Structure 1
Amino acid sequence: MTTRTPETTSGATGLSGYVQRALARVRAFDARRPWVWDAALTLFWTAAALVDAAGGWRTIARDPSVPVWLVVTTSLALALPLYGRRRRPMAVLAVMACAALVSDGSGAFLQAGYLQLIPVFHLALARPPRALLWSVALFLPPLVVGAVRFPLGAWDQRVVPVVWAYALVALLGIAVRARRDHTAALVERARRLEVERDQEVRLAAAAERARIAREMHDIIGHNLSVITGLADGGRYAAAKSPERAAEALDAIGATSRQALTELRRLLGVLRTDDETAARDPQPTLADLDGLLAGVREAGLPVRLDLAPPAAPAPPELSPGVQLTLYRVVQEALTNTLKHAGPGARASVLLTYGPREVRVEVTDTGGRRGPGAKAPGTGQGLTGMRERAALYHGTLDCGPLPDGGWRVLLRIPREDTPS
């Protein structure tokens, strides 16, 4: 037994690809200049009909005495209308049916009558199915007239073979149309999938930009506020207590280095595609003490209360929830540093309930001038609400009746419905 070699297979594949590319070029040319193909096909069949009209028609004619001029005219009437078969196939078939009626009724029985199958194919290819029923009404009368006027054996010997040919051509047109529609549907589906993929990529990019914007806002906004508070305090302390001014400068340096470290971590994540790249862990509730210490150094007294008293990072809270709580506390204290004014105090109350986790940040900010900006009206409030929404939480913020400001975040526990 012989086996096919890889060269034979590759040759067949290459030939198939060449044929497909050639057909694609022909279809593209026909789409650009359809009149060229229509004219070539019409001229070919016209020449064939005229060759038959030169004398060959008498071999199957029932009446060889039909005038030659009538045969030539009928042959042209059966061939020339093919030029418009793609644009108006029903009108072309009607003209050709009239010529076929003359051909069969006179006894010439021209073979050019079979050209009627070409517009029938285009009817099945491009028109609704009911158009085929109308074409039967045009196709049958010439056959019936010829079979009745010039009987040769049983009358169905003339009608049935042509009807079978009509049915096969109609089925071929329907099959080609179904395949073309199926291919077009696949192409459209592929296009829609590409559009959906691009949309998903854009949405993912937008979500990632929003996440990065929140992180950048929290990191830069908080640390710059702390640095600003330390710088203001150090300036006032420089004249009276150089030691306190030096402590403020040391705190500014430590805060700046911490901000740079966090920024490098965030930018490092952006630069690499490796999800396992080494980077510092995200802040958790265990880091609240360090956050509050930096705020106190900036000049804002702040107190942390736990209800009930427990570890600041219970294991049942996911890292994402802890990061959200940490960032909201950070943003709220940053707003207090910016807007509360001198002499303000802040408190953070972290409550672990059976159904939700709450964090409440309040301050005793003094009066603000009429042109001062209210805390939480910029990007910070939007970022806090987005973080809360990620875990089906709610965020409420607003002024207190006796002065000051409150930010309240509620996040349901992961084992309870939101």
Structure 2
Amino acid sequence: MITGSRGGASLEAEPRLPRPPGVLRRFWARHPVLADITIAGFCLLLSVAPVIALPNRASEDGRLDPETWDRVWPVLASVVVLGCFALLARRRNPVAVFTITVVVAAVYLFSPVALGGPLVGIATYAVAVYRGNRTCLIAVGAGFSFLLVVAGALGVSGVIAADIAWNVLISEALMMVIGGLIGANVGGRKRYVEALIAHSRRLVVERDQQTQLAASAERERIARELHDIVAHSLTVMVALAEGVAASKDAAHSRPGAEAIAVTGREALRDMRATLGVLRDTDAAPLAPLARDTTDETVASARAAGYETRLTVTGEPDVPSATRLAVSRIVQEGVTNVLRHARAAARIDVEIRYAEDGVSVSIVDDGRTAEGPSGGGFGLRGVRERVELVGGTVTAGPGEPRGWAVRAWLPRKEEE
């Protein structure tokens, strides 16, 4: 909250919450039908009472004889009762109810003495609350214009007295103004509360959606890491095991067996680090795995019997996300050679660090010109990693033989 100087108005960075409703407001809000019946009954009493007292008042002024009263009474009573009962529908059809009350006010013009009631004021209030201020202004303008035209026509033709016309016009205008002002205040508060509730619901929905998206993204990242760990490690272990099994010399097979053990331990370590993210909610996601394993990947390929050459050009001063992406690209490319290349004996891994980015190339000399069948999760994970840092990746037949995986990653500063 931002507060101004002493004695000045306070400025708030956020909208103020309305005061909670009191006991009476909560009661009427829970029982809207009872509230409408009570208001209609109250208006009926206030509107019928002047009609009942009409003969005495008119007789004192000499304006009404018994025969005229017998004709006026049923019309006035019916119209007033109709207007009061119409208030029961003021929430659903406020404009129609306002129109009926304006007709009731027009009938008051034919009374021999001044009559009036709160019907127009209640109807104007309902229009402002349930249809808005703009609709209320239009309705009040149209309704008062109608009364003005009818009163003027009846006054000019001599049907009604001028004091009756002025009394009805002024009293109904006051009722419209009072009802409109109160309704604008209550309606503005009502719409403000509804907007706050709708906004809070949107925030809850957006929060749940963001949580689901974050959980889905984290699952994909963990699945990608597990695939890289398991696929590479098991492929190397299988290749080493096949070499050990084919060797008849125990001395020559011992280094291969030791390499299998080392690869297995590293895979278990990486898997524990990855799965630990699921247990420890305070740990940074996948932080333990953000390390460069390029040398280990090349060493494992050499241990599996492949002539592997690693060429690094330039200074590897790139962000950790880019280093991890380079490491995983090399790991996936070498793993695909071990798994899919036929009669491959050589793997060339080249990494070039330039001013604008990093280029990675993994090429083998196998006989096959086909990559991994079905475009498995490995290459998909490589593409996701490369796209995450804004780079590109291609995979296809090499020249003159084998398979080549090439990627380019732009150089970006650490945030």
TM class by smaller structure = 0.7 to 0.9
Tell me which residue corresponds to 2:268: 260
Counterpart code for 1:71 = W
* Aligned AA (1:23): R
Q: How many residues align?
A: 382
Partner of 1:173: 183
Distance 1:387 1:64 in 2: 96
In structure 2, the residue matched to 1:235 is: 245
Partner of 1:110 in structure 2? Answer: 115
Name structure 2 gaps, 5 residues minimum: 1-18
Using the size of structure 1 for normalisation, the TM-score is: 0.79
Partner of 2:81: 79
How far did 1:89 drift? 4.1
CA displacement at 1:53 relative to structure 2: 3.8
State the match for 1:340 in structure 2: 341
Q: Trace 1:281-300 onto structure 2 (pairs within 5 A).
A: 282-284=290-292, 287-300=293-306
Question: Partners of 2:286 and 2:97 in 1: how far apart?
Answer: 75
Q: 1:342 to 1:20 in 2, by over 3 A?
A: farther
Corresponding residue for residue 233 of structure 2: 223
1:413 maps to a residue whose letter is R
SS for the counterpart of 1:105 is: coil
Answer whether contact 2:224 2:381 (CA < 8 A) is retained.
yes
Alignment identity in percent? 29
Q: For residues 232 and 405 of structure 2, what CA distance do their matches in structure 1 show?
A: 16
Contact 2:83 2:104 in 1 (8 A): no
Provide Cα deviations, 1:195-229, integer angstroms capped at 9, x if missing partner.
22222222222222222122111111100111111
Residues 1:398 and 1:375: Cα distance change in structure 2 (over 3 Å): farther
Structure 1 residues 331 and 133 mapped into 2: Cα distance closer, same or farther (>3 Å)?
same
- Aligned mates of 1:333, 1:277 — CA distance in 2: 26
Letter in 1 for 2:362: V
Whether 1:272 and 2:280 are equivalent positions in the alignment is: yes
- Paired with 1:21 and 1:331, the residues of 2 have a C-alpha distance of 69
Whole-angstrom distance in 2 between the partners of 1:211 and 1:177: 50
Secondary structure at 2:311 match in 1: strand
Task: Please report how far the alpha carbon of residue 91 of structure 1 lies from its aligned counterpart in structure 2 after TM superposition.
Answer: 4.3
**Does structure 2 retain, via aligned residues, the 8 Å contact 1:394–1:410?**
yes
CA distance in 2, matches of 1:354, 1:245: 45
Structure 1's unaligned 5+ residue stretches are 1-15
In the aligned structure 1, how far is the partner of 2:404 from the partner of 2:372? 12
Amino acid at match of 2:210: E
Contact 1:125 1:177 in 2 (8 A): yes
Q: CA deviation at 1:261?
A: 0.5
2:351 counterpart residue number:
350
CA contact (8 A) 1:94 1:138 kept: no
Deviations along 1:230-259, one digit per CA (max 9) or x if unpaired, are: 12112212xx21233343332222211110
Report the equivalent of 2:222: 212
**Residues 326 and 376 of structure 1: is their aligned pair in 2 closer, same or farther, counting only changes over 3 Å?**
farther
**AA partner of residue 351 (structure 1):** R
